[in-house]
């Protein structure tokens, strides 16, 4: 099975708490909406929060 690719679980994280929880529960990557760029009202991270979420 050397041609199988690893599946990556990507999850949304609208708040710092959500980012922590999805990573704790097995997500490989998290996407967030920076302030002014998110399409989800109420789920935007400030620029310093985006840096903290790494």
What is the arithmetic mean of pLDDT over 35-46?
A: 74
Residue 17 has pLDDT above 80, yes or no: yes
Least confident of 11-20, 25-34, 43-52: 43-52
pTM above 0.75, yes or no: no
Phi, psi of 16 (to 5 degrees): -60, -35
For the chain, give me the number of helices (H) and strands (E)?
A: 2, 2
> Which element (helix H / strand E) includes 23?
helix 16-24
Neighbours of 4 (CB within 10 A): 6
What is the arithmetic mean of pLDDT over 2-28?
A: 89
pLDDT given at position 10: 92
């Amino acid at each position: 099975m050397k041609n199988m690719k690893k599946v990556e679980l990507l999850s949304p994280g609208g708040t710092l708490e959500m980012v922590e929880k999805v990573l704790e529960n097995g997500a490989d990557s998290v996407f967030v909406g920076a302030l002014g760029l998110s399409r989800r009202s109420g789920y935007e991270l400030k620029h310093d929060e985006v840096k903290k979420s790494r």
